[in-house]
Amino acid sequence: MKPRLLHLAWAFAMAVSPAAIAQSWPEKPVRIILPGPPGSSPDRITRLLAEQLNKKWKQPVVVENRPGGTTRIGAEIVARAAPDGYTLLSTFVSHGMVKLLYPETPYDPITDFAPVVQLVDTETTLVVRSDSPYKTLQEMIEGVKKRGRPLGIGNFGTGSSFHFYSLILGQGAGIDVLPVPYKGEALSLSDMIGGHVEASFNSVGTAIPHIREGRVRALAVLAPKRSRVLPDVPTFLELGFPRLRAGGWFGVLAPAGTPKPVIDKIRTDIQSILREPDVTKWLRDQGLEPTFESSEAFGESMKREAVEWEKLIKEFKISVN
């Protein structure tokens, strides 16, 4: 059956009694597509949710990693799926910019998805190896200026939020930076630890185990205030970079047309998990702050961000060609 006819068929079926269907949902396994590799912060939180939802829904909840394409590969699977709630997308802040960078993208990141729930606000940190000569951000900036050679900074893909953070840092510091894209932030971090790139932007959740084990050093945190798990690390805002003040988010989306009662059930069940004290503590230990806004508020936030991403793409003349 063609995708459009499939969507229409589901829309008709759900219209019969959406509340009744939502009450009995799910009646079969649910899969969550994650457009990133194993080992990343989004991967860990998605698998935690899947484990808890398994118990709550009494159905298997399977996480599928589909990295690459700045989230496009995984997102397209969900955009084409039946709008019944059985295929979900666990994604992050870069989701909203793909159509701006890749006009040939066969889906719209806003209109082809239904916002379900924002899971957490995230914190981002700039890290270097523990044997790096740079102990502070200012030392790094001064060192790069003296040597006259660009600073290589790893990120999780061309056009990703971490890519833009590198460019904004370079602009604000007056240094040349070379953003180095990877198929996931865990790969960026491991390559940095291996000596293939000098620094890396990573979510605090991904970097924190390596920081605690002494493999890497955090120079600054991108967040409105200091991280509760890295209290001794200054924010970029404190260090004079006002454009590097907001972190990011992780959230769950469904195919457009998914019935609201199903979306509401998924959101309510996920938020009840996020409120559990042990889950809240685990998230905060990863530098993640649970959020509890409505699906509608999450969707409006995504739309506003897309406008801001478009401005940044034009300002820095980002092109993937």
Q: Which of 251, 249, 276 shows the shortest CA–CA distance to 117?
A: 251
Within-domain flag for 321: no
Give me the number of domains the chain comprises: 2
Whether residue 109 sits in one domain with residue 143: no
Find the CATH number of the domain harbouring 144.
3.40.190.10
Range of the structural domain that residue 309 is part of: 3-121+247-315
Within-domain flag for 44: yes
Whether residue 268 sits in one domain with residue 172: no
Is the pLDDT at 271 greater than 90, yes or no? yes
Whether residue 50 sits in one domain with residue 144: no
Whether residue 90 sits in one domain with residue 146: no
Whether residue 262 sits in one domain with residue 157: no
Is residue 87 within a helix (H) or strand (E), and if so which, with residue range? Answer: strand 87-92
Provide the 3-class DSSP secondary structure of residue 288: strand
Within-domain flag for 133: yes
Is the pLDDT at 122 greater than 60, yes or no? yes
Tell me the percentage of the chain whose pLDDT exceeds 90: 74
Q: What is the pLDDT of residues 26-50, one digit of tens each?
A: 999 999 999 988 888 889 999 999 9
Whether residue 213 sits in one domain with residue 129: yes
Whether residue 267 sits in one domain with residue 213: no
Q: What is the pLDDT of residues 210-254, one digit of tens each?
A: 999 999 999 999 999 999 999 999 999 999 999 998 778 999 999
Going by pLDDT thresholds of 50, 70 and 90, the confidence category of residue 186 is: confident
Using an 8 Å Cβ cutoff, are 309 and 96 in contact? Answer: yes
Find the CATH number of the domain harbouring 34.
3.40.190.150
Please list the helix, strand and coil fractions of the chain in percent, rounded to the nearest 5, in that order: 45, 20, 35
Is the pLDDT at 174 greater than 90, yes or no? yes
Dihedral, 131, 137, 143, 146 alpha carbons, nearest 10: 170
Q: The pTM is what?
A: 0.84
Whether residue 278 sits in one domain with residue 214: no
In angstroms, the CA 30 to CA 53 distance is 10
Q: What is the pLDDT of residues 55-77, one digit of tens each?
A: 999 999 999 999 887 789 999 99
Whether residue 107 sits in one domain with residue 82: yes
Q: Which of 37, 24, 30, 93 shows the shortest CA–CA distance to 60?
A: 30
Within-domain flag for 212: yes
Within-domain flag for 240: no
Show which of 189, 222, 255 is a domain's final residue.
222
Whether residue 106 sits in one domain with residue 7: yes
Within-domain flag for 234: no
Going by pLDDT thresholds of 50, 70 and 90, the confidence category of residue 287 is: confident
In angstroms, the CA 41 to CA 28 distance is 27
Within-domain flag for 236: no
Whether residue 89 sits in one domain with residue 9: yes
Within-domain flag for 294: yes
Whether residue 159 sits in one domain with residue 89: no
